[in-house]
Every structure is written in structure tokens, then in C-alpha cells.
């Protein structure tokens, strides 16, 4: 946060605050006001705030809550089919059931492209409703035609940032209301989703029960996530996304994600340290496509259902995760639910110049008759791997080296 002297600060609360309210409208009003004044702090007082749309962060506006007593809770999601085609330049969405939307609320358009074999997702805000026509704040810039059966939904991240710099988000609890929401892919959503942003800090924030990722950031540089909790989110716990440079991911607790810490495409020069990652449905840490030159140290990874640390494989060797350092990590009881071998560190593909130093691999479970517990499995095309000071306990086979 800014520490150069006094700044404008406003409060938001259910009562007795500068901005009074208990929903996204009150929060957004405060953030937009402070942004117009050149930046400052929006302090959110204790209470539950019902989020019918994202809270959109603004340049140089810090958002500070009162810890887990400040709860931003996503509304129940609903969906309806489109009644008419939408062309890319139109700001009118004709739907079968407009009653699920509200002015100022979030609207997601989704469906297969009528031109390409891919799914499309467009997030917008409702600015007016007239009959079955819902007007949105910006053109979709994609065609949604009826033959592909597109839908309009009330799905969105709880906090969103686009092309915003120098923001701290601190001391909040974000409740994704997973029981009443459909999934939104982590490339488009999460409890917190930011894209094309720089110098963002998320500190002491709980992201829980979202049907998607906990925190996802795409093409964002110098993002710091520290002392946060990502709890029982359906997607990825923390998702440093494509092209993100120099992320710092420190002292977080991730529980119950599909994958705990997922390095997406081209994540470079990052540090992930002191994190505790537990009970992930697939992998504790996953690293792959063009993810290079990262330092991953002193993390604890427990009870990953498939693999503790997983190196993804790509057809072209130049796309694999090179020059990453894994140091001082503790990997416990990997392969809890997987069939076949239970592997703690699984190196697929052609990773080059990776360093594995002083990691501890432990298995505390009873031996199984039909499977091996393997500490480290090295793929046949891995090159110039440096392994130093590794310790293994409870393994049937400490190292399986498939290199010829």
C-alpha cells in the first residue's frame, strides 16, 4: 500500500459510513469516487455484501476490508437462452427470460462461435432492461447466433481488474457461493480475476467456495499474492496466467482445489515460497508451457490426489518448463486417489536445466499391494537435471529414471 503520506480514504458499510449500502453498487460507487479524486483507499466495514456484479478495481485505489468479517458474496447464478441473434457490434441482448437480470448487474454471454470451433465468453454490465431486451455497457465484439444455442448468464468474478495498475486488495473474505453457481472457467473468472494489470497486491484475503478458480491473473506483471487462503474452490487455487512475469506467491494456504498452484503459459521469473497446498483433486503444483526461470521453495504439498509436483509435457521441446528451481519443498502422501503408481514428483516432457535441491518426499500410509510409491520419476527426454540433497521416506522406489 501507499506509504508516502495522507491519502483520501472513504468507508463503505451497512450504516454510518461515507457510502451506505450492502451490495456491489455501494462498493463500486466508493471505488469510482476515489478513482476520480486521483486515488486513495476504500475501507469496507464488517458485514455481508451481496454481489450482483463484479467489483471493478480502479487505478491506484486500494480496497481494504475488516478481515473475514467483511464478506463479498456472489449472487445465485441463473441463465437464459437468447431470443435473437447478437452481432458483434450490438449492445442489445434479447433473451427468453429477462427477469434474471438487474440494472447494474453482471451478464455473461457464452456459446460456441458460429465461425470457429471454440467457446466464447463475454462479460458485460447491464445498463437498461426494456421488455425482453437487455442493454449492455459495451458491444460484445463477438457474434452469438441462435444456431449455436448461446446463453446469457449471471456469472462473473467477484472482483475484476482490467488494464489497472498499482492496487492493493487486503483483508477481505470472498464467498463464491458455489452451491448456487455454475462453473466459470479460470481464464475468465475466479473469486478474483485480473487481466492486463501490473503491480497488484492481494494480501490477507480469503477466497472460498467459488465454482472456478480462487485467484486468476492473466498477462499481469509484478503481481503479489501473500498470506491469502484459497479454500474449496472448484478450479485452480492460484492461477498465475499466461504471460505473467515476476509473480510473487508467498505464505498462502490452498485447500481442496482441482490443482493448487497452476503455472499457466509463459510464467517467468516468479517466486512461490512458504505456501501450504493440501488435498487437491489432481496436482499440488503444475508447471508447463514456456514456464521458465521460476524459484519454487519451502512449500508444503500434502495429499495431492494424483501427483504432488507435475511437469506438463508439450509436443515441441522449446515449449517445456526449463531452468526452474525446486528447493526445500516437503511433498507428503501423493497419489491418494490415482490408480497405478503414486508419484510425488513427475517430470514429463523435455524440461532442461531444472534443479531439484533438498526437497523431502514422504509417504506415511500403509503399503498397497497393487501400486508403487515413487519419489521422483524422470521422463526419458529430460536433460541436464541437477538433483541435490533429496530425501525420501516411505517409498517403494525413490527414483525412477527413464532416461537412456
Cβ proximity of 68 and 206 under 8 Å: yes
Strand order in 106-112's β-sheet?
79-81, 151-153, 106-112, 119-130, 133-136, 92-94
Is residue 316 classed as helix, strand or coil in its secondary structure? coil
Q: CA-CA distance, 13 to 223, in Å (whole number)?
A: 28
> Rg for the chain (alpha carbons), in Å?
23
Predicted TM-score of the model (pTM)? 0.95
Domain residue ranges of the chain, discontinuous segments joined by +: 9-74+156-401, 79-153
Q: Which residues pair with 106 in a beta bridge?
A: 125
What lies within 8 Å, CB to CB, of 196 at 6+ separation is 162, 163, 218, 219, 220
CATH of domain 9-74+156-401: 2.160.20.10
Q: What is the pLDDT along the chain (404 residues), one digit of tens a residue?
A: 555 667 899 999 999 999 999 999 999 999 999 999 999 999 999 999 999 999 999 999 999 999 999 999 999 999 999 999 999 999 999 999 999 999 999 999 999 999 999 999 999 999 999 999 999 999 999 999 999 999 999 999 999 999 999 999 999 999 999 999 999 998 999 999 999 999 999 999 999 999 999 999 999 999 999 999 999 999 999 999 999 999 999 999 999 999 999 999 999 999 999 999 999 999 999 999 999 999 999 999 999 999 999 999 988 877 899 999 999 999 999 997 657 889 999 999 999 999 999 999 999 998 877 789 999 999 999 999 999 999 999 999 999 999 97
What dihedral angle (degrees, nearest 10) is formed by the CA atoms of 325, 280, 348, 221? Answer: -50
Cβ proximity of 235 and 186 under 8 Å: yes
Is residue 246 classed as helix, strand or coil in its secondary structure? coil
134 φ, ψ (degrees, to nearest 5): -110, 125
Q: CA-CA distance, 344 to 331, in Å (whole number)?
A: 7
What dihedral angle (degrees, nearest 10) is formed by the CA atoms of 153, 223, 229, 60? Answer: -70
Q: CA-CA distance, 180 to 51, in Å (whole number)?
A: 13
Amino acid at each position: 500500500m501507499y506509504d508516502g503520506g495522507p491519502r483520501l480514504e472513504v468507508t463503505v458499510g451497512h450504516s454510518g459510513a461515507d457510502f451506505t449500502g450492502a451490495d456491489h453498487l455501494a462498493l463500486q460507487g466508493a471505488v469510482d469516487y476515489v478513482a476520480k479524486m486521483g486515488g486513495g483507499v476504500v475501507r469496507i466495514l464488517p458485514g455481508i455484501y451481496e454481489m450482483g456484479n463484479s467489483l471493478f478495481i480502479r487505478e491506484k485505489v486500494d480496497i481494504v476490508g475488516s478481515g473475514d468479517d467483511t464478506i463479498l458474496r456472489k449472487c445465485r447464478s441463473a441463465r437464459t437462452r437468447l431470443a435473437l441473434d447478437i452481432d458483434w457490434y450490438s449492445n442489445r441482448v434479447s433473451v427468453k427470460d429477462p427477469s434474471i437480470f438487474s440494472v447494474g448487474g453482471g451478464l455473461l454471454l457464452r456459446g460456441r462461435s458460429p465461425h470457429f470451433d471454440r467457446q466464447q465468453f463475454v462479460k458485460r454490465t447491464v445498463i437498461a432492461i426494456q421488455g425482453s431486451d437487455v442493454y449492455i455497457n459495451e458491444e460484445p465484439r463477438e457474434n452469438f447466433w441462435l444456431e449455436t444455442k448461446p446463453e446469457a448468464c449471471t456469472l462473473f468474478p467477484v472482483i475484476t481488474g482490467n488494464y489497472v495498475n498499482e492496487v492493493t486488495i487486503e483483508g477481505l473474505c470472498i464467498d463464491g457461493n458455489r452451491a448456487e453457481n455454475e462453473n466459470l472457467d479460470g481464464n475468465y473468472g475466479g473469486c478474483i480475476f485480473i487481466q492486463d494489470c501490473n503491480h497488484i497486491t492481494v494480501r490477507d484475503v480469503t477466497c472460498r467456495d467459488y465454482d472456478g478458480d480462487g485467484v486468476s491473473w492473466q498477462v499481469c506483471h509484478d503481481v503479489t499474492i501473500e498470506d491469502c487462503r484459497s479454500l474449496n474452490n472448484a478450479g485452480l487455487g492460484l492461477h498465475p496466467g499466461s504471460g505473467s512475469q515476476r509473480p510473487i506467491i508467498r505464505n498462502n494456504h490452498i485447500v481442496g482445489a482441482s490443482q493448487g498452484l497452476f503455472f499457466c503459459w509463459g510464467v517467468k521469473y516468479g517466486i512461490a515460497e512458504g505456501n501450504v497446498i493440501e488435498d487437491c483433486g489432481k496436482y499440488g503444483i503444475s508447471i508447463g508451457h514456456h514456464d521458465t526461470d521460476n524459484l519454487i521453495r519451502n512449500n508444503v504439498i500434502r495429499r495431492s490426489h494424483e501427483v504432488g509436483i507435475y511437469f506438463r509435457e508439450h509436443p515441441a521441446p522449446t515449449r517445456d518448463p526449463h531452468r526452474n528451481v525446486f528447493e526445500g519443498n516437503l511433498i507428503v502422501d501423493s497419489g491418494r486417489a490415482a490408480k497405478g503408481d503414486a508419484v510425488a514428483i513427475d517430470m514429463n516432457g523435455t524440461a532442461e536445466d531444472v534443479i531439484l535441491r533438498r526437497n523431502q518426499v514422504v509417504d506415511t500410509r500403509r503399503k498397497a499391494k497393487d501400486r508403487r510409491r515413487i519419489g521422483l520419476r524422470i521422463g526419458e527426454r529430460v536433460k541436464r537435471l541437477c538433483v541435490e540433497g533429496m530425501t525420501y521416506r516411505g517409498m517403494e522406489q525413490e527414483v525412477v529414471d527413464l532416461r537412456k
